[in-house]
Amino acid sequence: MIQLFHVSKVYDRCVALHDVSFRIDQGECVILTGPSGAGKTTLLKVIFGAETPDSGQILVQNRNVARIRGGAIPYLRRTMGIVLQNFQLLPQKSVYDNVVLPLIIQGVKRREARQRVMDVLKAVGMEHKQKIRTGVLSAGEQQRICIARAIVNSPILLLADEPTGNLDADLTMEIVELFRRIHAEGTTILLATHNRQVVEQMNGRVVHLQEGRVESDKEATR
């Protein structure tokens, strides 16, 4: 699914990633851990094409993302779902309009799109709020909507960068449960977090980054 070969990235003499190599197989759940500045976000960014590595190769479904041309990046992103810490929702638009966007972009027909949106809203427990503007929702609800938007086009890979960073302990557990359910349905997950509670509850393979290097790579315990 994903293979990284000696990936390095430097920002203004500051090493974000140094000779990072590992592999994620289809259906795996990988938790990327490490302190702030360890390179977790940069690693996710090079995988979804927001950053170009200075050296090394990144294969995502046998496509070399390190050498992908700009025009192909949107099509790469359509195969993955992306969830970020700061929600990235359109606050003036309704829950439905936010979640349906990836399907509009991909040209899915209106009726089919409606069905798929309703299915994912039900899956994240937000179907009753489809007409409400996302700007008035709580942080936990907004993150649920983000997750719904990320999975509405049935991606084979879900990338999440500190998805519980802005949530309290109870909401964090709700979101973790959501990720576990998505993983159980066969979606490959790469989740970056420094929250121990999330790492323990997700019970996936843990790749620990320290100063841009892979310090440890441990398989799931159960």
Quick one: 80 or 123, whose CB is closer to another protein?
Answer: 80
- Minimum Å distance from CB 129 to another protein? 19
Token output for 60: 């995502």
Quick one: 13 or 111, whose CB is closer to another protein?
Answer: 111
Tokens 């989740």 belong to which residue? 191
Quick one: 15 or 68, whose CB is closer to another protein?
Answer: 68
Rounded to whole angstroms, the Cα distance separating 125 from 79 reads 24
Quick one: 80 or 206, whose CB is closer to another protein?
Answer: 80
- Minimum Å distance from CB 214 to another protein? 26
- Minimum Å distance from CB 53 to another protein? 16
Neighbours of 26 (CB within 10 A): 12
C-alpha angle with apex 118: 115 to 120, nearest 5 degrees? Answer: 110
- Minimum Å distance from CB 75 to another protein? 7
- Minimum Å distance from CB 107 to another protein? 6
Rounded to whole angstroms, the Cα distance separating 191 from 71 reads 26
Interface residue list for another protein (CB under 8 A):
70-71, 73-78, 82, 84, 88-90, 101-102, 104-107, 110, 149
Quick one: 67 or 218, whose CB is closer to another protein?
Answer: 67
Rounded to whole angstroms, the Cα distance separating 194 from 37 reads 11
- 8 Å CB contact between 148 and 175: no
